[in-house]
Every structure is written in structure tokens, then in C-alpha cells.
Chain A
Amino acid sequence: AQKITQTQPGMFVQEKEAVTLDCTYDTSDQSYGLFWYKQPSSGEMIFLIYQGSYDEQNATEGRYSLNFQKARKSANLVISASQLGDSAMYFCAMTSTGANSKLTFGKGITLSVRP
């Protein structure tokens, strides 16, 4: 079974500073993928970044990077140079890359960027 844990109740960051959003996971699969999604107040789900379990380097997409520590089963999202528009709910998710891949989400973290 897959499980995603996001325990930070809510995060605040000053504009232009970096912030790390925590995510730990549990799975018995050897091959899996990890995702982060953003959900602004408007409600849509926006894909941010992907990390494969066999990827040797941490994924990066613009101001987003994923700090992947496989042995610790953590996949933290780092947002550099925070902007006011980054204020949103952030979800960590995972799927196995084998057959019948189930996409499971954590409970999410609320990020507020202060001007």
C-alpha cells in the first residue's frame, strides 16, 4: 500500500525567501514516481514537478526543486524566491510505475507568502 504524509499544518514565508514543504512516503514498490501539485484558491490542480525513484539527480523546474532522499523516504519541495502568487495549497502525491498505477495524495500543506 502507498501512503503519503504531509504533517506541516501551515507554512508562512516572506516574499523572495525560500521555503521547504515536507513530504514523506511509504511504499513497497521498487519503482515509483513522486509528484507535487499546487492548488490555488481558485481550485484547480496544477502539476509542478516529478521525481522518479530511480532518478539519480533531484528534479528541478524553474523555482521548484525536489529534495529527494530515498533512504529516508522523503520528497520535500523547495520553492526558491517565493512570490505572492505562490500562496496556495500544495499536495505531494505518488504512484507506482508498474501496472495498474494508483495515484495517492497527501493531505496537503497551506503556504502563505507575506509581502
Chain B
Amino acid sequence: DAGVIQSPRHEVTEMGQEVTLRCKPISGHDYLFWYRQTMMRGLELLIYFNNNVPIDDSGMPEDRFSAKMPNASFSTLKIQPSEPRDSAVYFCASSLSGKNTEAFFGQGTRLTVV
């Protein structure tokens, strides 16, 4: 397996534009997590899914953020409209339920909103 794949790797957009981040988890994994990493806040959990169902979205900062997982092999995180304070690295991770199973991270998407 190629691991967790995120796209794009880098995104620069203007304030007010819609941004869509994409994630392909490892095949067979039933958990998918979206994190945001900034210097000030560290690694924040935004939302996570189990078997494609959103379980906890309490970390989503505002209504401008939304996430979907239409099937087991694809998830999106959308920001509309984007703001400069959304600039961060966004990570997607997936894991397999059960004991002793670590989460595997994608390479991240570095988002810059100007």
C-alpha cells in the first residue's frame, strides 16, 4: 500500500476562496482523522470518522469548515470561505480499530491563505 495520500501538498489561495483538501486512507483502515498543525496551537484534531461516519467534529473551528467521507477510500476537508488564519498544515491519518494499531499519517497539505 502507498500509505495515506493527501493532495495537494501545497495550496496557496486568496482570502475568500474555497479550498478543498483531499485524503485517501490506507485500504482496509476504518478510522480517518483530520488534524491541523500550527505553531501556536500544535496538532489539533478537527474531526474523525469511523466506517465513513463522522464521530466527533467538535474540533472543527467554525461553520466555514466541513468534512465528508463519501466512501471508505476518500475524504475531503473543505474551507469556504478561507481566511488568512486558516493557514496551517493539515494532516490526514488513518488507522485500523483494535489494540496496538498506530495511526498512519499522510504527508500533509500546507495551506497558505493570503
Contacts and interface: CB of A to CB of B under 8 A. Distances in A.
B5 interface: no
B107 A107 contact: no
B99 A52 contact: yes
A17 B25 CA distance: 38
B42 A107 contact: yes
Contact of A103 (B42, B95, B107, B108): B95
A105 B50 CA distance: 18
Size range of the chain B interface in the assembly: 20 to 34
Given A33-B99, A52-B100, A105-B45, A100 B55 contact: yes
A14 to B, nearest CB: 27
Interface of B: 31, 33, 35, 42-43, 45, 48, 50, 55-56, 89, 91, 93, 95, 97-100, 102-105, 107-108
A97 B99 contact: yes
B91 A45 contact: yes
A6 to B, nearest CB: 9
B102 A35 contact: yes
Interface in A38-52: 43-45, 47, 50, 52
